[in-house]
Structure formats: structure tokens, C-alpha cells
Chains A and B, each alone.
Chain A
Amino acid sequence: MPIITLSRELGSRGDDVALTVAERLKLRLVGRELINQAARQAGAPEIALAEIDELGLLGLKPDRAALRLYRETVEQVIRDLAAGGNVLLVGRGSQVALAGQAGVLHVRISAPHAARVRCVAERCRVSPEAAAARIVASDQARSAYLRRHYGARWDDPQWYDLMIHMAQLRVADAAALICLAAEHLSHNTDEAQL
């Protein structure tokens, strides 16, 4: 019952990698759903919008108490999902929330800046300048989430078993590496339990 957490930079093709791995290992892919579920459980659905809005377009500013409750709920939802197994969790600090838990594979996907700009510009049909600005905003939002909530750096290798830099690898190559690592980890965990 593989459990994988995947942290990715905007424009790194990490979402494509996550999708491919989830399909190949028949895992439930949980990304946006985690945000929505936690916000609903915390009784503050507009926080989901604020969290999705990492470029700050909607300008929502939920109050501190609601945010704190949301963060705690996110962690609980992550633990509940992991307890069920067969899941690939994308983002939301899942690599830190599940750190040290046996059998959980933590992956990070990054890419060269120029490749990220190209990817975002193509997908969002915006100029390279706008794509670069979106990458800066996204990096700030994602790193701030881990820093504020856990006092952790999202690019710190200590949180990951596998870090893949998408400079030369294709999505399929990265997915194959993750599947292999998940298989080995599962085997090692089974052996340790015997």
C-alpha cells in the first residue's frame, strides 16, 4: 500500500509526474481535494480559495484563528489519508506532516528556471515575463506555507527520499524512478516488519 508525498515547483512538470505515478501504481491522487476537504472540515470554505490563490489574484485574507484551525485540519486530513494507504499526496506540507513515518516515500520535483518559465508560458499562454512573475509568486507562497507552519524549508533535502531535477529527464523517466523507489521502500518495510 504505497504512500507517496510529492512536493513540486510550479512549471517543473511535477503535476504530470504525479499523475503518471498515480496511474501506474493505481494510487489515489490527492492535491486540491486536500485543501477543499480541510477547509470544509474547518468550517471556513473561503480559506480553500485563499490557498488555491497562490498568485494572490483574489486577495482573500482569512482571519488568523480560522487559518490556524485550517492548518491543523490539513495535517489531520493528511494523516487520515495516509492511514488508508494507496495514496499520492501533492503539496500542503505532507512531506513534513508524515516525516519519519515508515513506508512513506517523500519526493521533490524541481526544474531549471528557464524550463519552468517555458512550461508556465506555454500552459498558461502568457508571456515569459508573466510566467516568471507567476513562478516567483508561487515559490514564495509554497515556501512560506512550510516556513510559517513548520519552520521548515521546502527545498531542504532532509524532508525527501528522492529529489528529481527535471533538466534532462522526461516525465515518464521521473515517474519510473519514483515507482521503482516506492517498490523498493515497500519491500524494505515488509522485510523490517518480518
Chain B
Amino acid sequence: MSLEAPPFSHPVEAEFARILDFYGIPWLYEPRTFPLEYDAHGNMTEAFSPDFYLPDQDLYIELTTMQPKQVRHKNHKLRRLKELYPEINIKLFKRGDIRSLMVKFGVQDYPDMMANEL
């Protein structure tokens, strides 16, 4: 749980953090970047920074509000992450999961939030 809210890149992330706070689940926002690809010169060309890390559960959380058809690139990144870092536990919350979560948590302006891609 952070004392001061970090600069979330999407309002859905802020709401997710509120739910974690509600349950008293400690969290860190984008604490680590995992290199996924390098070019021939050893420069990092692709990386992945999961949105949240829950230290008590040793679990990373990635949120996406993309339409199912557009999630392919994100799924590819997640697969690559699991290949390169098999010890990492990560859970992807998809658009439908997030919509349901926002409704249950009583977030009134969730349709606007879902309109912006995350």
C-alpha cells in the first residue's frame, strides 16, 4: 500500500489500487522492467513492465482494457516473459474482468475509463 498514490498511466489502474487498498493488500506500481528482446548489439529492443507487484503473494498483475482482438501483442509479451523468467507469477486481468470489477466496486464512470486503451 502506498502512502502517496503513484502517477498511474490509466484511471483503471488507480481504481485497481483502491481495491487492493480496500482489502489491505500491499502493492507496488510498475516496480520492475523485464527485458524481452535485444538487438545484435545487445541493446534492449523490447521490454515488459507489469502494472502491479503484490509482494505478499509474490504475484505480478497486468491490466488491459484492450478489445480481445487487440490483445494478441500483449499475450505474446506475456508468453515471452514466462519463457525467459519462468519463476515469475503473473495474472492478466482482461477487459471483461476489469469491467466486472469496476461495476462491483461501484465505479460510476467505468465506461469512459474502458474507452482509453491500457
Contacts and interface: CB of A to CB of B under 8 A. Distances in A.
B57 A49 contact: yes
Nearest to A52: B23
B31 to A, nearest CB: 16
A40 B57 contact: yes
6 contacts: A45-B89, A48-B59, A49-B54, A57-B22, A58-B19, A59-B104
Contacts of B100: 59
Interface of A: 32-33, 36, 39-40, 45-46, 48-49, 52-53, 55-60, 124
A59 B97 CA distance: 7
Contact of B25 (A46, A52, A60): A52
Contacts of A52: 23, 25
B19 A39 contact: no
Contact of A40 (B23, B58, B97): B58
A4 to B, nearest CB: 22
Contacts of A48: 56-57, 59
A46 B91 contact: yes
Given A32-B56, A45-B54, A49-B54, 6 more contacts: A40-B57, A45-B58, A49-B25, A57-B19, A59-B97, A59-B101
A45 B57 contact: yes
A171 to B, nearest CB: 19
Contact of B57 (A39, A59, A124): A39
Interface in B50-101: 54, 56-59, 89, 91, 97, 100-101
B24 interface: yes
A57 B56 contact: no
A60 B23 CA distance: 14
Interface in B92-118: 97, 100-101, 104-105
Most chain B CB within a 10 A radius of its CB, from A49, A53, A55: A49
B101 A57 contact: yes
Contacts of A45: 54, 57-59, 89
B57 A57 contact: no
Contacts of B56: 32-33, 36, 48
Nearest to A60: B91
Contacts of B19: 57-58
Given A40-B57, A45-B59, A57 B105 contact: yes
